[in-house]
Structure 1
């Protein structure tokens, strides 16, 4: 394998200091090429088969990254739609335990049902708040707003003791943090952040027995033989999690295939070490400047209270970050360098 630095230089050429992967990751050069080729294929009237092949290649790649059999992975569109599928399967009155301030896509489908008991607690109290009448616990593995990491082993233990199912959103984790999706009943990840893909796709992982889910959004692609199921009711749903597929955004998967190949080529463990080294460098620099970030040990996301107001000024200086809940949020990924961190600290020192 090429060295990490050489691979990154060949794939990424940002024109600014980009520290905003938690919002949307940069597209690798190979992904841009794949997108262009897919568009050209459609412009020339080429066959769709290669694009559908990309969907299956992406499904298999995500299964490897998530540590689950490919038969457990469904190809979706958004995290909220996947959450809605799980919300639809709960009986009226079921209790759903959530985290205060978690991302809306993890929460809102349960609220809009109107007949579920949705309870929210602070992240650090999540495992201890599971009760015998808790049907489901829904949480982001990494909090979008501030990078705090959920104690998933403790949650699994508590949920197991009380017979509750778990639903984990890995959208802010997959691609830099090792993921064990098989340890949970359901999980989801969108692809346009740390997995470096285009917008428009998400992966849902379900149990081998489908965990009581009903494919209420099933169309022809959810059939065991899709091309024989275009007309009339689908007579046989797919025997795998593909029964929960939605019609794929084919261009997205064409690009994503290249992105996932890069993530696998470098390796999540290598990316994890790189990202954390940069985040820790930033935390140390903040301490020297007298700033205290939200405590989030081991996270590639660093959120600094009360500095969100500086986001426009930083943007004018060529640094791209986010203002989230009044916090300045920096997120570090494989294309960032120590000099990026130092430049941000220099501007903050003012």
Structure 2
């Protein structure tokens, strides 16, 4: 039986100290190989059936990670596209409650409607700010800028008490933070960060009754029989969440399928323990250097105010992090080690 360490060593060999998964995760070797195979398939003129099968295998794998049946998972290109679908279903004048400074893909489509009441409050006041008349609460499970984790149980309880729906983005959490998509009305996640896939694929989890969504983006792939739905209006939409699919970027799913399989092999619980232990190590080292990170208990993302300007210096030293609004953001994942953390601390110490 392969161990955590042996699986990781077999899949990853970064040429730098990569601490920037919150921007984009590394591709495992198995996913790189699958992408090469997919390109070769296209170049050879072979049937594309295996690539369409990758979409379904990836959907099923994500569904297992999310804890829901695959019939409730829709495949699309991005979080913003899925948010737009949810926004389009709201009646004019509906109130959408969001967290201040949440990622734009989670909130901007609601603003673009122009006829919704979008209200933003601090993340730690989100649950208490749900009120009668709130139609939807939209929030990231983990904040992109600083890694703060939303109190989802409190939010769900408040939403239920006031008859509001919940829309939770797991883009900065899926893969390291356990995900219970069944507890929210709608759950969305991109897959090129902690889920280690290529860009161009995202999943939306909908309720069994589809949550009043209209498949306004539906094309032929949204048909119950896609290949019989290529011309004219789609006569019969898929009976599952596939009715909300957008025509898939096949190469993205070819690479994503083995990436999700790797996360399943290792297990989210093991990844969570590994990633958060590295974050704790970094926070302790920062304190010894006299720096204070933004509070984000239990997160794999650590942001340090006032140090964002050191990103170019760190890049020259072969350490990849982010500068977010003046904050140095380091994000830890399964391919990182304690030595990576210590190297970052050494450079920061000068």
Instruction: Tell me, yes or no, whether TM beats 0.5.
Output: yes
CA RMSD of aligned residues (A): 0.4
Structure 2 residue 340 is the aligned partner of structure 1 residue 345: no
| Superposed displacement of residue 325, structure 1 | 1.2
Shift of 1:334: 0.1
SS of the residue corresponding to residue 173 of structure 2 reads: coil
Q: Give the distance between the partners of 1:303 and 1:258, measured in 2 at CA.
A: 30
1:39 Cα deviation after fit: 0.2
Per-residue CA shift, 1:258-278, capped at 9, x if unaligned? 101110010000000000110
Q: 2 CA distance for matches of 1:333 and 1:310? A: 21
Distance, in Å, in 1 between the alignment partners of 2:67 and 2:7 is 25
Determine the structure 2 residue equivalent to 1:218.
218
Q: CA deviation at 1:138?
A: 0.2
Taking the aligned partners of 2:207 and 2:264, their CA distance within structure 1 comes to 24
Establish whether residue 126 from structure 1 lines up as the match of residue 126 from structure 2: yes
Match of 2:295 in 1: 295
- C-alpha separation between the residues in 1 aligned to 2:4 and 2:59? 25
* Residue 7 (structure 1) shift: 1.0
Alpha-carbon displacement from aligned partner over 1:29-57 (angstroms, at most 9, x marks no partner) = 00000000000000001111000000000
Question: Offset of 1:4 from its aligned partner?
Answer: 1.0
* Runs of at least 5 residues in structure 2 that lack an aligned partner in the other structure: none
Instruction: Name the counterpart of 1:264.
Output: 264
What are the Cα deviations for residues 278-333 of structure 1, in whole angstroms up to 9, with x where unaligned?
00000000010010000000000000001000001100110000000110000000
Corresponding residue for 2:235? 235
Q: What is the TM-score when the length of structure 2 is the normalising length?
A: 1.00
Deviation at 1:5, TM superposition (A): 1.0
Listed as ranges, the matches of 1:146-161 within 5 Å are 146-161=146-161
Match of 1:198 in 2: 198
Question: Would you say 1:62 and 2:62 are equivalent positions?
Answer: yes
Kindly provide the CA deviation profile for residues 76-126 of structure 1, in whole angstroms up to 9, marking residues without a partner as x: 110000000000000000000000000000010000111000000000000
Q: TM-score when scaled to structure 1? A: 1.00
Provide the C-alpha distance between the structure 1 equivalents of 2:270 and 2:206, rounded to a whole number of angstroms: 28
1:30 matched to 2:30? The reply is: yes
CA distance in 2, matches of 1:3, 1:73: 30
Shift of 1:3: 1.2
Partner-residue secondary structure (3-state), 1:167: strand
SS in 2 for 1:98: strand
Secondary structure at 1:126 match in 2:
helix
The question of 1:89 aligning with 2:98 is answered: no
Q: What is the number of residues matched between the two proteins?
A: 350
Task: Give the unaligned 5+ runs of structure 1.
Answer: none
- Equivalents in 1 of 2:234, 2:322: separation in Å? 45
Match of 2:328 in 1: 328
Stretches (4+) displaced over 4 A: none
CA distance in 2 between counterparts of 1:270 and 1:278 reads: 13
The alpha carbon displacement at 1:61 in A equals 0.2
